[in-house]
Amino acid sequence: MCGRFAITLPVQTMAGIFAAVPSNDVPDGARYNVCPTQQVAVCTADGPDGGRRLRAMRWGFVPHWYDTPGGGPLLINARSESVAQKPAFRAAVRERRCLIPADGFYEWHKAAGGARLPWYVTRADGAPMVFAGIWQDWDRGDQHLTACAILTTPSGPDIAHIHDRAPLILDPGAWAKWLGEAGPGAARLMQPPPVGRLVAHRVGVAVNSSRAQGPDLRAPLPDAAI
């Protein structure tokens, strides 16, 4: 799964990567511990003249039947194997897919004795990660928000020793297909990361706090092992 991630790219850099027009509300500045319900940068294919735009969304999908944004479980992830059947997600995965940039994500391994040990996961090639997401608008009276969720797959061999789920990570050649710009076939992109795609290292327990920030959160923990 993906419950925390880091993104340190400036807004203009993210917009350039996606060839997108940035909105004024996109969070800027280095963020080393992005948490659910916070605003995140998201690329969609509904920008000016049908192009892409980079916009802000709440991380935490809100189904249309929730009376309030917190009116049910917090839906930060959607399983790729069942997303097309789940009432909360099935319309969004057909009609409203998006891309969510990140440097890397955090995952916790449950060690002997019950301790939860944090790891930081990145692409092995050092390139930015781009998660496959879905989104939708939610309205109640004068309340409005736009929210997203990150799709997940089985984790694959690189990080299976840490957790059995991983975000669905897309290479640049798949972005247009996921956004719906290159015709049908997005379902074929819902695959675990191939062998050698991801690397991970242990980090300190400071990241366990949702309030923690700073580059030290993702620094390798010396001599750490499961």
Q: What is the dihedral of CA 24, 97, 143, 41, to 10 degrees?
A: -30
Homologous superfamily assigned to 4-106+125-153+167-194:
SOS response associated peptidase-like (3.90.1680.10)
How many angstroms separate the first and last alpha carbons of the chain? 19
Structure letter (DSSP) for residue 176 = H
Would you state the pLDDT for residue 77?
A: 98
| 23: number of Cβ within 10 Å | 15
pTM of the predicted model as reported, rounded to 2 decimal places = 0.95
Q: Is the pLDDT of residue 224 over 70?
A: no
- Please tell me whether residue 174 adopts helix, strand or coil conformation: helix
Q: Is the pLDDT of residue 98 over 90?
A: yes
CA distance 100 to 6: 11
Distances (CA, A) of 130 to 13, 41, 137, 208: 13, 11, 22, 23
pLDDT tens profile 2-60: 899 999 999 999 999 999 999 999 999 999 999 999 999 999 998 778 899 999 999 99
When the pLDDT of each residue in the chain is averaged and rounded to a whole number, the result is 94
